[in-house]
Structure 1
Amino acid sequence: MTGTAHTTETDLLVVGGGPAGCAAVVMAAGVGMRTLLLEARSELCGRLRHVRSLENVLGGFASGPEFAAAAAADVARSAGCRVELGARVVRLDARDDRVVATLESGGSRTAAHAVVATGTGPLGPADTDWLHDPEGLARAPLWEADPAAWEGRTVLVLGADRPLGTLLRADPTARVRFLVAHPPEDDYKTAEVRADPRVEPVPVRRVALGSDRRRRIAVTITTAAGDTLSRTAEGAYLNIGNAPVLLPGDLVPDSTGWCPPDRQHPRIHVAGDLRSARAQRIMTAMGSGGEAALRAYYALCGVPDRSARPERPE
């Protein structure tokens, strides 16, 4: 492409193969950019393949696996794009004339610009001040759960994040009871699931987990009102929320740990869930991925960014 620095392997590195990264690749191909997509997992849109119900995306996709397959196919059809799966980036550095991505394997990849779409990872007990789980009984994120496997049982859900509603919609007839323990400030998150008879939301100050003699999970709850409840559950899943997956190097987080696009080096363009805690949706991720690729394209073409400047009246 015209304007690409000769010291780089390609025009654009895309780090992360979720919805934002895939959208960036497709947009880049549409404007003639050469792209290298680096994805740490063995497949694109890996987390989406566990989501059995989708309601907030265009295209008529009813499930995450359907969407993931379509996104992977679109990337495969994108001209000028190479994909490296199992390529975990451990550092990203911005130079005057290029971006350098260092891989866990020890190699590196360079490009004129980079779109970073590493997304988020689930928070754990250590990230809270209300959950005590010394035996590590709650390890798996809720989006990995299968309600059909818990037929007739009680499952403890730690946190009231959005995957709970998705899970319930995907299995509307599953006979499973969800005991949802969450801090009082997250009570608003239970609005979409509170009417489901399978859900018992409990605002808590503290939750302690242990094993009982029957290998069930013994749950001791101090409620927000100060009462103590003792319950048992056959399984427990984390649903506390997510934190941004940051790369060491020149990625610039704000005071909350997220990475606003306007804080980044001119050669680094942030897309997807990594940008903000308030915009974690597939549709917004895809839009930001396309926008990030366009920003890189205009920079390569030497088109100045006047988006922050008000238009002068004629």
Structure 2
Amino acid sequence: MSSPSRPFDTDLLVVGGGPAGCAAARTAASVGMDSVLIEPDALCRNLYRIPALNNVLGGHTDGTALAAAVTAELHGTESCRIELGRYVTGLRAHEDHVTAVLDDGRRLTAPHAIVATGVGPRGPGDVPWITAPPGLSPPPLWRAGAQDAAGRTLLVLGGDRPIGTFLRAHPRVRTRLLVAYPAADDYKTEEIRDDPRVTLLPAEHLTLHPSDPASVTAELLDRSGTTHSLNADTAHLALGSAPTSPPGDLVRDSSGYCPPVAQHPRLIVAGDLRSARYQRIQTALGSGSEAALRAYYTARDLPAGGTG
């Protein structure tokens, strides 16, 4: 807690325990800053869903290995207090500090807060080009393993990049993916269009019928105006993500993201919450580290140059 000699609870609040938040806490520790990291689930929880990595430095071949390494480093960082199982119900920026209200009623204060709560998966009800029965929400494709796909036909809703990750992770699994996707996902399908297991279905609209335990049926209206009946063993989501941010003083754009330049000077946004454009593990790690250094330089009224 705060004391007369230290008016705030910590030097830095970090909201979100994904790659960006963990990088922020580690970087803060490297320059002598104490931090409190608040995460409602597990550290790097989304990394565990990535079965194959081909764009991350450091020799990690899958998300589980990277998540384990990051988690071990954070738990070994004495200057970072980790509040797992807690989430922020209110985030307020004041003239000289930030207050985070936790779900248990506690209030934590610091000169700055880094918000790195990232994104969550979108469902059929979140996109206008899909009509689905109320309450129907197929699982994300990243949850499917080899045993779920072998010898089966999967209807994949959307063309987001986890499809490519799934195919790279299971190169010898004999499966068929029917990928129905809107025009906005055209560029994302470039990496999968040459895989013989993929059938690309450019869609104007897709209507999912009530699901049966043994099969999935749908009607697809393609972009030429022709209707096709689709049959598959299961359906899976690859619709991309939507930003998730705590209530309070963050400024959101029309898409729900929180552009860093629009925020109060004491609220620093890092990772995937910034924009859909740079949603990569490497950019999240870099932005988290940069955010911590920004708080460090600002708190000490130092110029933006490095210290070596």
TM-score by length of 1: 0.92
**Mapping for residues 1-314 of structure 1, pairs under 5 Å:** 6-41=6-41, 43-211=42-210, 215-303=214-302
State the Cα distance separating 1:87 from its structure 2 match: 0.9
1:5 to 1:293, Cα distance in 2 relative to 1, 3 A:
farther
- Deviation track 1:37-89 (CA, whole Å, cap 9, x = no partner) reads 11110x21001111110111111000000000011111122231111111111
CA–CA distance in 2 between the matches of 1:90 and 1:23? Answer: 23
Question: What is the SS of the residue equivalent to 1:278?
Answer: coil
Unpaired segments ≥5 residues, structure 1: 308-314
What one-letter code is carried by the residue in structure 2 that aligns with 1:180? V
Question: What is the SS of the residue equivalent to 1:222?
Answer: strand
Question: What is the SS of the residue equivalent to 1:191?
Answer: helix
What one-letter code is carried by the residue in structure 2 that aligns with 1:282? I
For the Cα contact (< 8 Å) 1:180–1:200, is it kept in 2?
yes
Q: Which stretch shows the higher mean deviation, 214-223 or 53-62? A: 214-223
- Deviation track 1:223-257 (CA, whole Å, cap 9, x = no partner) reads 11111111211211111111111221111122332
- Deviation track 1:135-194 (CA, whole Å, cap 9, x = no partner) reads 544332222222322211111110000110001000101111111000123212110001
Counterpart in 2 of 1:310? none
Aligned residues: 303
1:149 to 1:70, Cα distance in 2 relative to 1, 3 A:
same
State the Cα distance separating 1:303 from its structure 2 match: 2.0
For the Cα contact (< 8 Å) 1:5–1:98, is it kept in 2?
no
CA–CA distance in 2 between the matches of 1:212 and 1:258? Answer: 33
What one-letter code is carried by the residue in structure 2 that aligns with 1:173? R
State the Cα distance separating 1:97 from its structure 2 match: 2.3
CA–CA distance in 2 between the matches of 1:211 and 1:198? Answer: 26
For the Cα contact (< 8 Å) 2:203–2:220, is it kept in 1?
yes
CA–CA distance in 2 between the matches of 1:183 and 1:33? Answer: 46
What one-letter code is carried by the residue in structure 2 that aligns with 1:128? V
Extract structure 1 runs of 4+ deviating beyond 6 A. none
CA–CA distance in 2 between the matches of 1:139 and 1:103? Answer: 32
For the Cα contact (< 8 Å) 1:7–1:98, is it kept in 2?
no
- Deviation track 1:195-226 (CA, whole Å, cap 9, x = no partner) reads 11111110111111124777411111111111
CA–CA distance in 2 between the matches of 1:230 and 1:252? Answer: 43
Identity of aligned residues (%): 51
Counterpart in 2 of 1:311? none
State the Cα distance separating 1:296 from its structure 2 match: 0.5
Question: What is the SS of the residue equivalent to 1:288?
Answer: helix
1:256 to 1:209, Cα distance in 2 relative to 1, 3 A:
closer
CA–CA distance in 2 between the matches of 1:79 and 1:294? Answer: 18
CA–CA distance in 1 between the matches of 2:272 and 2:184? Answer: 22
For the Cα contact (< 8 Å) 1:160–1:240, is it kept in 2?
yes
CA–CA distance in 2 between the matches of 1:5 and 1:191? Answer: 58
What one-letter code is carried by the residue in structure 1 that aligns with 2:27? M
CA–CA distance in 2 between the matches of 1:214 and 1:66? Answer: 34
Unpaired segments ≥5 residues, structure 2: none
State the Cα distance separating 1:29 from its structure 2 match: 0.3
CA–CA distance in 2 between the matches of 1:8 and 1:67? Answer: 33
State the Cα distance separating 1:279 from its structure 2 match: 0.4
CA–CA distance in 1 between the matches of 2:184 and 2:263? Answer: 31
What one-letter code is carried by the residue in structure 2 that aligns with 1:274? L
TM-score by length of 2: 0.93
CA–CA distance in 2 between the matches of 1:65 and 1:244? Answer: 23
